Amino acid sequence: DAKTTQPNSMESNEEEPVHLPCNHSTISGTDYIHWYRQLPSQGPEYVIHGLTSNVNNRMASLAIAEDRKSSTLILHRATLRDAAVYYCILRDNDYKLSFGAGTTVTVRA
């Protein structure tokens, strides 16, 4: 079963930032936080991951709470191509990787 909780949906205007929260209160010390996104009728693609420190890459930023029980994916300037379902999952040494329902992001032009 998924170990994370995300809101079902979020809306944003184009060119505005989007903050996607994820709660993972049962996270263990060795769990990495991974984010994926899925465009319609496609397989998910990797976005970003982190362990303790905040992370930035060309797609997004990941802010991790100090107690690691929550994190936030930040899309700095939403575009129409960012409309997708975003999944937050935990990865440790266990090979079993479970996804939840994710957050559906809608971007208004």
Site for another protein, rule CB under 8 A? 1-2, 32, 34, 36, 41-46, 49, 85, 87, 91, 95-102
Q: Which is nearer to another protein, 13 or 28 (CB)?
A: 28
Closest CA to 4 of 19, 20, 25: 25
Q: Which is nearer to another protein, 43 or 109 (CB)?
A: 43
Cβ of residue 32: shortest distance to another protein, in angstroms? Answer: 7
Q: Which is nearer to another protein, 93 or 109 (CB)?
A: 93
Burial code of 29-59, b = ≥16 C-beta within 10 A, e = fewer?
eebebbbbbbeeeeebeebbebeeeebeeee
Cβ of residue 95: shortest distance to another protein, in angstroms? Answer: 5
Cβ of residue 56: shortest distance to another protein, in angstroms? Answer: 14
Do 85 and 104 form a contact (C-beta atoms < 8 A)? Answer: yes
Cβ of residue 9: shortest distance to another protein, in angstroms? Answer: 11
Question: By CB neighbour count within 10 A (0-12 exposed, 13-18 middle, 19+ buried), where does 61 fall?
Answer: middle
Residue 16 phi, psi (nearest 5): -100, 155
Q: Which is nearer to another protein, 1 or 67 (CB)?
A: 1
